[in-house]
């Protein structure tokens, strides 16, 4: 036995992981790690998997102060005391989740509850995290002691890489993930979705189980293989596997009568007994055969769903008085927004801010429009034509590596306009030498002089536009090439649940998602029947007109000469 056997009941464990020769994991390149994880390189040896998990988790970028093993040793006795592990109450944020035992022995089963309580003590900001018990139980199989497992889970929870989503820790994040999963099912598992609509009273309730399938019902050997890849590739893997599970469920059960009165319960039983029909390798093969949206497109969809929930005031799990909770959620959301908006002076300091285009007050007005998560970041001047010259190549070299950015333009006629751009300009290279659009629905354009006006993505203010007929798919545009859908069926039994809004996929035309594009010849912001902004390679002349993406009026004189152009980044 190896040093990672303390919490393992080897009578329950897959015997193959004990018999395989130990190997070493020496690679560090992402693509190689990705390939090894998908192939199950470290899945056949218990010690190697433990070392792989430790290596991958230790490389997760975390908050400056993240609880470690020593913190656990300091607090566990105070928190747990002399109480029996089995009698320890679980915190509310796990939402009465299943606490899987997998292949844990008695000591390991008790350790799960102790670690959950200590995490609750160190992470008071966690309000909803039903996946946590499963993650702890899984990692205990590959930990030397409770403290090491605690530290690894804390690193996962404390990840501060905005591009790397790991575990949902709020009800808003969890609920929007369920909505997003439902949207993906509608897009990629249409036959299964029709079955869900036909046999369930509430499709959302069925799809809200998707994380439970992975972190609760899946047997140990399956969830470990999923976790192998998850630690390398991130959250998108979870969507893939859950979609694959639903596809297999539909294939195996198609035409058969339901085994219970609940499709939700039938899916749980199927996942629990999946070894009867599908191997772990086949499950992952199916998952990665799905041509899923890109990470950025899924992130856009997730943000759209979060925004829809926030507008309804749904940010915490409703309890005994839904109306009161709804009102409190709405008030709290409004308070947070007002707090951020009224405190933009914390980000834009009068004594430190200097622009040749906008005043401190005008910059604060712009700052009040940006997404809340960036509202307290400070503006950082990345590029100005006055210092760096009128060169598009220098514009790119100074702007790349920063996301988001703010573009400000002052014309020779003293007009001021600009754009908030959500995506790194380096993304333009994905189109090769061909001009192609990218970006997300957080982009917006605006003018400040002669009058103030902001224009958001047209779908945000007019979601009804998304139900109109769409033009042929634009394969040349990364931002829009996958955003099409089959027409909505006329049969009432096939209609989508309200949360499965087709507006995310059935855009009125390819032009509705033309956010930003760039080449060596020009920069374009917004498209479709015109461009919100067009700037030439010399950053000297530009054009502006109405465009479909933002449904904007011209931001200044339709043909203009640039006096000064600035690009600003966001500094924590």
E strand or H helix that includes residue 460: helix 458-461
Do 247 and 137 belong together in one domain? no
Same domain, 40 and 119: yes
Residue where a domain stops, chosen among 139, 169, 199: 169
Regarding whether 373 and 302 lie in a shared domain, the answer is: no
Give the separation between CA 358 and CA 363, rounded to whole angstroms.
6
Say if residue 529 is in the same domain as residue 381: yes
Which of 290, 319, 347 is where one domain is finished?
A: 347
Report in angstroms the alpha-carbon separations of 142 from 61, 117, 153, 188, 238. 21, 20, 12, 35, 21
Same domain, 157 and 50: yes
Per-residue pLDDT of the chain (572 residues; tens, 9 = 90+): 478 889 999 998 876 655 555 567 777 788 888 899 999 988 889 999 999 999 999 999 998 889 999 999 999 999 998 888 778 888 988 877 678 899 999 999 999 999 999 999 999 999 999 999 999 999 999 999 999 999 999 999 999 887 778 999 999 999 999 989 988 898 888 888 888 888 887 888 899 999 999 999 999 999 999 999 999 999 999 999 999 999 999 998 776 777 677 889 999 999 999 999 999 999 999 999 998 877 777 887 788 788 777 766 766 665 545 455 455 555 555 555 454 445 555 567 667 789 999 998 898 889 888 887 777 788 999 999 999 999 999 999 999 999 999 999 999 999 999 999 999 999 898 877 778 888 888 899 999 988 899 999 887 776 555 544 433 333 333 333 222 233 333 333 333 333 333 333 334 445 557 899 999 999 999 998 899 999 999 999 999 999 989 999 999 999 999 999 999 999 87
d(CA 517, CA 269): 48
**Which residue range forms the structural domain that includes residue 29?**
1-169
Task: Quote the number of domains for the chain.
Answer: 3
Could you tell me if 391 and 451 lie in one domain? yes
In a domain, 124, yes or no: yes
Q: How many other C-beta atoms can be found within 10 angstroms of the C-beta atom of residue 486?
A: 11
User: Are both 450 and 539 inside the same structural domain?
Assistant: yes
432 Cβ neighbours under 8 A, 6+ residues apart: none
For residue 36, is it within any domain? yes
Alpha carbon 214 to its chain's center: 17
Of 144, 169, 194, which residue constitutes the final position of a domain? 169
Helices of type H across 40-131: 46-58, 69-80, 106-122
Q: For residues 195 and 127, state if they share a domain.
A: no
Q: Model confidence over 365-402: pLDDT tens digits?
A: 898 888 877 777 889 999 999 999 999 999 999 999 99
On whether both 397 and 535 belong to a single domain, the answer is yes
Kindly state whether residues 391 and 536 are assigned to the same domain. yes
Write the DSSP assignment of 469-536 as a string of letters.
Answer: --PPP-TT-TTTTT---PPPPSSGGGPPPTTS-GGGT--SSGGGG--EEE-SSEEEES-SSS-SEEEE
Residue 220 has φ and ψ, to the nearest 5°, of: -55, -50
Q: Does one domain contain both 365 and 248?
A: no
Q: Peptide bond before 404: cis, by omega within 30 degrees of 0?
A: yes
DSSP string, 413-443: T--EEEEEE-S-GGGGGGGTTS--EE--TT-
Token code pair at residue 493: 């039994």
Chain-centre distance of CA 268, in angstroms?
25
Regarding whether 157 and 12 lie in a shared domain, the answer is yes
- Contact (CB, 8 A) for 180 and 302: yes
* 249 contacts 267 by C-beta, under 8 angstroms: yes
CB 357 within 8 A of CB 566: yes
Question: At residue 275, what are phi and psi to the nearest 5 degrees?
Answer: -60, -20
Note whether residue 496 is domain-resident: no
């Amino acid at each position: 036995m190896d040093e990672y056997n303390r919490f393992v009941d080897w009578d329950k464990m897959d015997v193959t992981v004990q018999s395989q020769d130990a190997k070493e994991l020496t690679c560090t390149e992402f693509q190689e790690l990705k390939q090894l994880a998908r192939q199950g390189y470290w899945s056949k040896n218990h010690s190697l998997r433990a070392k792989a998990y430790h290596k991958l988790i230790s490389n997760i970028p975390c908050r400056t102060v993240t609880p470690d093993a020593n913190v656990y040793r300091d607090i566990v006795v105070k928190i747990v005391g002399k109480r029996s592990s089995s009698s320890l109450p679980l915190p509310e944020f796990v939402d009465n989740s299943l606490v899987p035992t997998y292949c844990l022995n008695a000591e390991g089963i008790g350790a799960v509850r102790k670690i959950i309580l200590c995490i609750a003590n160190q992470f008071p900001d966690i309000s909803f995290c039903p996946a946590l018990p499963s993650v702890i139980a899984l990692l205990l199989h590959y930990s030397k002691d409770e403290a090491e497992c605690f530290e690894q889970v804390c690193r996962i929870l404390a990840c501060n890489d905005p591009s790397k989503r790991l575990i949902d820790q709020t009800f808003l994040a969890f609920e929007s993930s369920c909505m997003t999963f439902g949207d993906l099912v509608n897009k990629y598992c249409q036959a299964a979705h029709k079955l869900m609509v036909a046999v369930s009273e509430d499709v959302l309730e069925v799809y809200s189980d998707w994380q439970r399938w992975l972190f609760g019902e899946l047997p140990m050997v399956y969830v470990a293989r999923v976790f192998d890849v998850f630690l390398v590739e991130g959250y998108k893997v979870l969507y893939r596997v859950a979609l694959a599970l639903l596809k297999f469920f539909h294939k195996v059960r198609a035409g058969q009568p339901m085994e219970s009165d609940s499709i939700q319960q039938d899916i749980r039983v199927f996942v629990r007994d999946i070894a009867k029909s599908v191997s772990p390798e086949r499950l992952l093969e199916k998952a990665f055969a799905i041509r899923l949206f890109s990470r950025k497109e899924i992130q856009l969809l997730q943000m759209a769903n979060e925004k829809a929930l926030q507008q309804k005031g749904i940010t915490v799990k409703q309890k005994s008085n839904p109306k009161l909770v709804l009102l409190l959620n709405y008030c709290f959301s409004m308070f947070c927004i007002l707090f951020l908006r009224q405190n933009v002076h914390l980000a834009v300091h009068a004594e430190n801010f200097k622009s040749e285009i906008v005043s401190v007050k005008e910059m604060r007005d712009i700052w009040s429009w940006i997404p809340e998560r960036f509202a307290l970041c400070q503006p950082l001047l990345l590029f100005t034509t006055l210092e760096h010259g009128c060169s598009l190549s220098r514009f790119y070299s100074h702007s790349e590596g920063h996301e988001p950015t703010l573009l400000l333009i002052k014309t020779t006629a003293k007009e001021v306009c600009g754009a908030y751009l959500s995506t790194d300009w380096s993304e333009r290279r994905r189109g090769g030498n061909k001009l192609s659009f990218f970006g997300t629905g957080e982009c917006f354009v605006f003018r400040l002089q002669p009058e103030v006006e902001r224009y958001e993505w047209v779908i945000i203010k007019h979601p009804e536009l998304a139900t109109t007929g769409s033009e042929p798919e634009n394969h040349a545009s990364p931002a829009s090439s996958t955003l099409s859908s089959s027409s909505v069926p006329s049969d009432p039994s096939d209609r989508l649940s309200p949360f499965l809004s087709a507006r995310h996929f059935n855009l009125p035309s390819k032009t509705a998602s033309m956010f930003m594009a760039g080449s060596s010849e020009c920069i374009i912001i917004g498209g479709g029947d015109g461009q919100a902004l067009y700037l030439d390679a010399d950053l000297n002349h530009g054009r502006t007109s109405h465009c479909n993406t933002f449904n904007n009026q011209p931001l200044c004189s339709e043909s203009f000469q640039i006096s000064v152009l600035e690009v600003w980044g966001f500094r924590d």
